[in-house]
Structure 1
Amino acid sequence: MTAAPARRLRILLTEGASTSAREAVTALGLAGHHIEIMDPDVHCISRFSRFVRKVHRCPPIASHPKAYLEFALELSRTGQFDVLLPIHEQGLIFSKALHRIPEGTSIALPAYEAYSTGLDKWTFSQKMRELGMPQPQTRVIDNAADIPDPGTPFIVKRPMSTASRGVQVVKTKDDAAAARVQTGGEHGPIIIQDFIDAPLEHAQLLFDHGRFVAMHGYRQIIRGAGGGEALKESVWRLRVKTEMEKFAKALNWHGAISLDYLWKDETPYFVDCNPRLVEPMSAHFSGLDLAGLLVRISLGESPEEAPPSKTGVRTRLSLQALLGAALRHNSRIEIIREIFRFMTASGEYSDSVEELTPVWLDWMSALPCAATGLAVLVYPKTSHILPSRGWGAGLLTAESIRIIRDEIA
């Protein structure tokens, strides 16, 4: 049973459609905080929680970033919220407008230039090269037609993409041809990165103006829909901490940051950065309250360095597992088998705990998973639509990024 917090805070999340938002709701709700959400969709996944008091329907940042910002600022001016928590890439717009956040509403973000460096895959790669951090060999090209046929496998990705969307592995000439077609309709640079055959791992870190506060890591065991994890296991890599401390000090990082890396020969080869807190319930079940620490940093506190989280803790995301199984098999029988495995924590999910929709902690969290299960059983091809349905309105686009850069002061 979770103890009541020393102070019950009113927290406003900047979106409610992502898995990260859904898990932040659980972590903060268990601590007894009052949670409200902004989202263009009042039926977003985080809405279905006993911890959420209200969902504010806001303009979509994807198409109306200025209106989105003004909506958030107006809510903050009411004085009803202690903390504004950018839980996804909306942090970019708030980092540009930090001086406009009303007094009395706390937030933890780095400066706009630092946030932009973490968000853009190419500038992140350049900063890592400058700091001597390990990464696969990386270069940039200007035109999709210049994507080469592979001598050795490589990765093609856009500087701006979320949850592995826009990332393609090229191993054959057919893969290269497909990559040229899929990236040919988009403008801007294309990143080519050497392929390293190694396990994919993730780390979430908190910094207080460049000072390390906490870290949690996990490795992907089963891949789910949209590039996310269906099953993960906690790990601790000291080398990740030391490398990221260099990055955080160089950029005076303030708040949360999450990394993807390939772990090979005791070395993390960093491949992606998300300047935000990603899915904090794995850390929660591993004994580390990242969401709570981020709130404390937001309030201007300076928490002591947290001890390492427990390793070997397995957690699952049943919704991701369900959609991933439907995408892989397109078979009702296989979907039913997958549902049985994750509901009974058997097979590959043995000794794991549910982190995305923990029904025993929050009974309402079962509703989106149950509705999705029914949808893919009736029509398995629904799995190709559901992972991005309604979520794109909360993601940045090339145009919204331009507006934030050039028109918001």
Structure 2
Amino acid sequence: MASEFPRILAASARMPFAVDEIHKLGEEKGHFLIATDTFRESPGMHSKGVSEAIITAPPTQEPEAFVDDVARIIDQHRIDWVLPMFEEVFYLAANREKLEAGRPDVNFFFPQLDALLEVNDKSRFAELCKRLDLHVAETIVCSSPEEFVAATQRWEHWFARATFGRGGLDIITNYGPLAGETAVEDIKPTADDPWLVQEFLVGEDRCSWSVVHEGEVVLHSCYRHPLAIDDRGGIVFESVDSPESLEAVQKIAKELNWTGQISMDYLATADGTHYMVECNPRPTAGCTVATADEFNTALFDPNGLVVVPGGRKKMIKAAVLRDAILHPSRAKADFAAAKGAKGVYDQRKDHMPLIYSALSLRHVLAYRKAAGAERSKEQLVAAQFFDILYDGSSLT
């Protein structure tokens, strides 16, 4: 029988949005919360609302051991809600039948594997959006270096990314601040690891995050990032009014009968058109601009749709300071972008995640050992998730 108050397992507690959600869950009296990750310095494992922190095997490198660890935690701690925070969700979904066996009262709050795969593959996601009459930039899928070179000659300004790339990595363009970082001839697409090339559209990057139950969106936020780290991931998040993003998520959630958290990236052009860029089948920074009450209600007691209003701001304070120190000429603009924003890691009466966000840099060493020196320039971003990432390979 399910407990009166939810007993929650939150996996991959390191990410800033995981820290935020764990903090929000911890604010609610009566919740029992287990936070897991693959290393002890994971910031979210040290939030004051965590009842117990547990180390698991890395899902990317040891998927079977990871699933066994999760099953054991569920049984030992009478867990009745499982909330994935990153791409470990693919390994859980692939083993859903095993996890559900003998556990009828556990709410595995994530979609079926088929739905996850539909949105994770950027080429399949583009086709899904076209089928639902959502705007998508013209796209060429490349499975060989020759196809890639030819595709980059299709437009004067173009943008390309790996089908299974994440976190602002594995991208190349000939226009904008990232132009020239990577040579075209260095990109080697294959049938198993294709790349997408699209016309470079000018506009504002926007993102959304939603909580969904059986195809119905119950909580939605859309946000922009006035400040990004190294022109890749946002470090300041400001909610904006965006009925276009809500309509897009509602269409996709209904089509896939989605249950769980879902996040989208868009390119909003000057005429207000929201071009679909990609889908992350997990939480992203949009959760940080929702309140604890909004989040807990959406999960455990939803009652209709709640849309986060525009004007709320959050930031990763350490990243803002890092950018200002590394680029003094940008310091004034950095602090202006962050003005009025509250911290994600350093929340009121819950400061240990901020301390551990610094200590967690030890994980960079583990990334270097696993990935080698050839990707050292991306180590701060890639080290966040190299052992909880799904790369599109077979899950069966």
The bucket for the TM-score relative to the shorter chain is 0.7 to 0.9
- Indicate if the aligned counterparts of 2:16 and 2:345 stay in contact, CA closer than 8 A: no
Q: Shift in Å at residue 213 of structure 1?
A: 1.5
Q: Shift in Å at residue 282 of structure 1?
A: 2.8
- Indicate if the aligned counterparts of 2:140 and 2:197 stay in contact, CA closer than 8 A: yes
Structure 2 CA distance, aligned partners of 1:109 and 1:384?
29
Q: Shift in Å at residue 388 of structure 1?
A: 3.0
Structure 1 CA distance, aligned partners of 2:324 and 2:93?
38
- Residue 76 (1) aligns with residue 74 (2): yes
- Match for 2:340: what amino acid? D
Q: 1:191 to 1:210 in 2, by over 3 A?
A: same
Counterpart residue number, 2:89: 91
Q: Shift in Å at residue 54 of structure 1?
A: 2.3
Structure 2 CA distance, aligned partners of 1:288 and 1:200?
28
Counterpart residue number, 1:358: 346
Write out per-residue CA displacement over residues 170-220 of structure 1, whole angstroms, 9 at most, x where no aligned residue: 339x83961431446995211112211100011112222112322111111
RMSD, aligned CA: 3.1
Structure 2 CA distance, aligned partners of 1:131 and 1:152?
29
Structure 2 CA distance, aligned partners of 1:258 and 1:203?
5
- Indicate if the aligned counterparts of 1:82 and 1:106 stay in contact, CA closer than 8 A: yes
Counterpart residue number, 1:3: none
Q: 1:216 to 1:103 in 2, by over 3 A?
A: same
- Structure 2 counterparts to residues 243-322 of structure 1, below 5 A: 243-264=248-269, 265-285=271-291, 289-290=294-295, 292-296=296-300, 303-322=302-321
- Match for 1:367: what amino acid? I
Q: 1:176 to 1:78 in 2, by over 3 A?
A: closer
Percent sequence identity is 18
Q: Shift in Å at residue 246 of structure 1?
A: 1.8
Counterpart residue number, 2:174: 170
Counterpart residue number, 2:23: 26
- Indicate if the aligned counterparts of 1:256 and 1:294 stay in contact, CA closer than 8 A: no
Q: Shift in Å at residue 168 of structure 1?
A: 2.3
Mind listing any 5+ residue stretches in structure 2 that lack a counterpart?
362-375
Counterpart residue number, 2:379: 385
Q: 1:311 to 1:155 in 2, by over 3 A?
A: same
Q: For residue 289 of structure 2, give the secondary structure of its aligned residue in structure 1.
A: helix
Structure 2 CA distance, aligned partners of 1:104 and 1:226?
44
- Match for 2:139: what amino acid? T
- Indicate if the aligned counterparts of 1:24 and 1:279 stay in contact, CA closer than 8 A: no
- Match for 1:82: what amino acid? D
Q: Shift in Å at residue 323 of structure 1?
A: 4.5
- Structure 2 counterparts to residues 338-349 of structure 1, below 5 A: 346-349=335-338
TM-score under structure 1 length normalisation: 0.81
TM-score under structure 2 length normalisation: 0.84
- Indicate if the aligned counterparts of 1:144 and 1:190 stay in contact, CA closer than 8 A: no
- Structure 2 counterparts to residues 95-244 of structure 1, below 5 A: 95-99=93-97, 100-101=99-100, 102-148=103-149, 149-150=152-153, 151-171=155-175, 175=180, 178-183=183-188, 187-224=192-229, 227-244=232-249
- Indicate if the aligned counterparts of 1:229 and 1:320 stay in contact, CA closer than 8 A: no
**Deviation larger for 222-231 or 254-263:** 222-231
Structure 2 CA distance, aligned partners of 1:252 and 1:19?
27
